[in-house]
Amino acid sequence: MKPFLDKDFLLQSEPARRLYHGAAALQPIIDYHSHLSPEHIASDRVFDNLTQAWLEGDHYKWRAMRTNGVKERYITGDADDYEKFEKWAATVPWTVRNPLFHWTHLELKRTFDISDFLGPRSARKIYETASAQLRTPEYSVRNLLRKAKFEVVCTTDDPCDSLEHHETIRDSDFEIQVLPTFRPDKYLAIGSEAFPEQIRRLSNAAATVIQTHEDLLAALEKRIDFFDRMGCRLSDHGLERIPSESFTATEVEAIFQRRLDGGTVSPTEAGVFLVAMLDRLGRMYHRRDWAQQFHLGALRNNNTRLLRQLGPDTGFDSIGDFDQATGLSRFLDRLDADDQLPRTILYNLNPRDNEVLATMVGNFNDGSIAGKMQFGSAWWFLDQRDGMERQINALSNMGLLSRFIGMLTDSRSFLSFPRHEYFRRILCNLLGDDIERGEVPNDTDWLSGVVNGISYLNAKAYFKF
């Protein structure tokens, strides 16, 4: 029987252990998609305690606590920080076989050198030990990034953001690159109640009067130019799906004018507007040599009662069952037909679509660069062992795993960085199994190169960091 979370955790063969310890574990981290706070990096925040560092904004943990019967007061409510941590500690033993169980103990071990099993009996000791470390300058946000061997981290930012915190970071002596990512979804969601207000915000941020659809595009392009000057290399879109509707400029203008005048639009019209906007934005990204990301398939804000009480991004989203292939193909083909298709990363949330996306990216690789079109890493509900293995296997079967740009955290937590380790161990274990079965040559030098590429080097080349 193997001990829990030892140095060979998840590594079930000698070849897997050689690949992980001799290659993957030695690579720095490029985290090209996260929701980390640039303000906290700019100010080099020092957390007061483990609850602040671990539970603030973490809807993965909130969701598990609710499932375990914890009242909202101890999750997002007014309970004090230790009471909230105590409820989380009491939940952890019940998360067995959920990825939270592994992540929790990896984060304790890698960040604080705490090997104790977290539960009600160990809660106080772990809380006090970790909190005492967090209150020291050695555990400030910037030092947590250094400790995890970060080289680049990309945040996710609204087009109207001033990026003042990124500027502060850039002008400091911090050696890790912290770059913004352009996330314009609010300004494309024409059917939302908040759309008119979002257009007003964008008008102010871009110093542009927005009266027509072309005005809207001009305002977004101004913000794209600003983000580009601040080092941005990526855009990001979180969508249920990409619509398959066709569009004309006249039709899009009429939809936009009606909405600006206070009218409503149908779901079909909202789809027409969205795909027209994505088309024009894709061309802007291409001109600036950005990569575009599409996170597809989330069914968001299912619980309207708790949405009204707590707001979005609080743990009430799930996997959707949307048709992905047709609209995605038409969208990518429209850009490719004019040789205006940027480097593109596609992430899916429904595992049934793994092969759909893995084959879709192959349609639009054109030989211009290796791995131009990427089937992105297992995302959100799928960034656990089974989800990662299924994504890796689909990519291996349908494309070139060796050109994959690897893992990201997609996290708001400055303690979540062992997710990169988790992925790298899973990758090395799969390759080790292939060697053990005689399906892949036992060539450590060659396979170490593959592993180093997926862990770090491919992303470095892909984003030109």
pLDDT tens, residue by residue, 127-180: 999 999 999 999 999 999 999 999 999 999 999 999 999 999 999 999 999 999
Distances from the Cα of 405 to the Cαs of 1, 146, 421, 447, in angstroms?
35, 21, 15, 16
Q: What is the mean pLDDT of the chain?
A: 97
Confidence of residue 20 (pLDDT cuts 50, 70, 90): very high
- Kindly compute the dihedral angle of the four CA atoms of residues 209, 157, 57, 125, in this order, to the nearest 10 degrees: -150
| pLDDT per position as a tens digit, 100-117 | 999 999 999 999 999 999
C-alpha 460: how far from chain center? 17
| pLDDT per position as a tens digit, 391-400 | 999 999 999 9
- Report whether pLDDT(415) > 90: yes
What pLDDT score does 188 carry? Answer: 98
- Report whether pLDDT(224) > 90: yes
- Report whether pLDDT(182) > 90: yes
E strand segments, 186-288: 234-239
What pLDDT score does 261 carry? Answer: 92
Distances from the Cα of 355 to the Cαs of 140, 224, 428, in angstroms?
42, 32, 22
Taking residues 81-110, report their average pLDDT: 98
What pLDDT score does 169 carry? Answer: 98
Secondary structure in 3-state letters for 368-422: CCCCCEEECCCCHHHCCHHHHHHHHHHHHHHCCHHHCCCCCCCCCCCCCCHHHHH
Contact 237, 298 (CB under 8 A): no
Interior/surface letters 66-85, b for 16+ CB within 10 angstroms, e for the rest: beeebebebbbeebebbebb
Q: Is 136 exposed, middle or buried (0-12, 13-18, 19+ CB in 10 A)?
A: exposed
Secondary structure in 3-state letters for 41-105: HHHCCCCCCHHHHHCCCCHHHHHHHHHCCCCHHHCCCCCCHHHHHHHHHHHHHHHCCCHHHHHHH
Q: Is the dihedral of CA 346, 19, 14, 425 positive or negative?
A: negative
C-alpha–C-alpha distance, residues 384 and 387, integer Å = 5
- Report whether pLDDT(31) > 90: yes
Taking residues 55-73, report their average pLDDT: 96
What pLDDT score does 83 carry? Answer: 98
| pLDDT per position as a tens digit, 438-450 | 999 999 999 999 9
| pTM, full prediction | 0.97
Confidence of residue 305 (pLDDT cuts 50, 70, 90): very high
Contact 118, 126 (CB under 8 A): yes
Q: Which residues contact 173 (CB under 8 A, 6 or more apart)?
A: none
Coil, helix or strand for 16?
A: helix
- Report whether pLDDT(87) > 90: yes
Contact 443, 22 (CB under 8 A): no
| pLDDT per position as a tens digit, 348-359 | 999 999 999 999
C-alpha–C-alpha distance, residues 262 and 259, integer Å = 5
Distances from the Cα of 345 to the Cαs of 31, 69, 72, 158, 242, in angstroms?
14, 38, 36, 19, 14
% the chain with pLDDT above 70 = 100
- Report whether pLDDT(427) > 90: yes
Q: Please state, as a whole number, how many other Cβ atoms lie within 10 Å of the Cβ of residue 209.
A: 10
Confidence of residue 276 (pLDDT cuts 50, 70, 90): very high
Contact 392, 427 (CB under 8 A): yes
What pLDDT score does 1 carry? Answer: 87
Q: Which residue has the tokens 């030109």?
A: 464
DSSP 29: E
What pLDDT score does 96 carry? Answer: 98
Q: Which of 93, 141, 138 is nearest to 113 (CA)?
A: 138
Confidence of residue 298 (pLDDT cuts 50, 70, 90): very high
